[in-house]
Amino acid sequence: MSTELVAIQEDDSRLPYLCLDAVTPEHLEHDIYSHAVRSDHIYHIALFKSLAKYEERKAEQKFRDLLKAALVVGCVGNEADHDTVIDKTVMAWRAANRGAPLAYSQHHQKRM
């Protein structure tokens, strides 16, 4: 996955937006330092740089570690794929919860 920006024509009635929920820090770094990509996104480089420094990944690391431990204990899938599976799970969870951080899930989980 890479960052893809689409130009909106002036007469277009759609509201332009930039959604970066599914972009990883690694993809941002690639887009910042790749000349071929950077030349297409020159107006957004400052935004990409600030997002690359964002501490979201560190803040959610304990939740990612819990998910990984559950996958290992449950012998689910190949351990080499766990990080990718967790990334996709977090992206899907955020999409379903309007971008809420993972910490939100701990405070609002259903009690059985």
What is the mean pLDDT of the segment spanning 92-112? 69
- Please give the model's pTM, rounded to 2 decimal places: 0.60
DSSP letter, residue 78: -
Q: With contact defined as beta carbons under 8 Å apart, do 71 and 85 qualify?
A: yes
Q: Note the Cα 90 to chain centre separation in Å.
A: 8
Task: For 63-95, write each residue's pLDDT tens digit.
Answer: 899 999 999 999 999 999 999 999 888 888 887
The CB density around residue 30, as the number of other CB atoms within 10 Å, is: 15
Task: For 14-36, write each residue's pLDDT tens digit.
Answer: 655 666 667 777 877 887 788 77
Distances (CA, A) of 96 to 8, 88, 100, 105: 26, 12, 9, 12
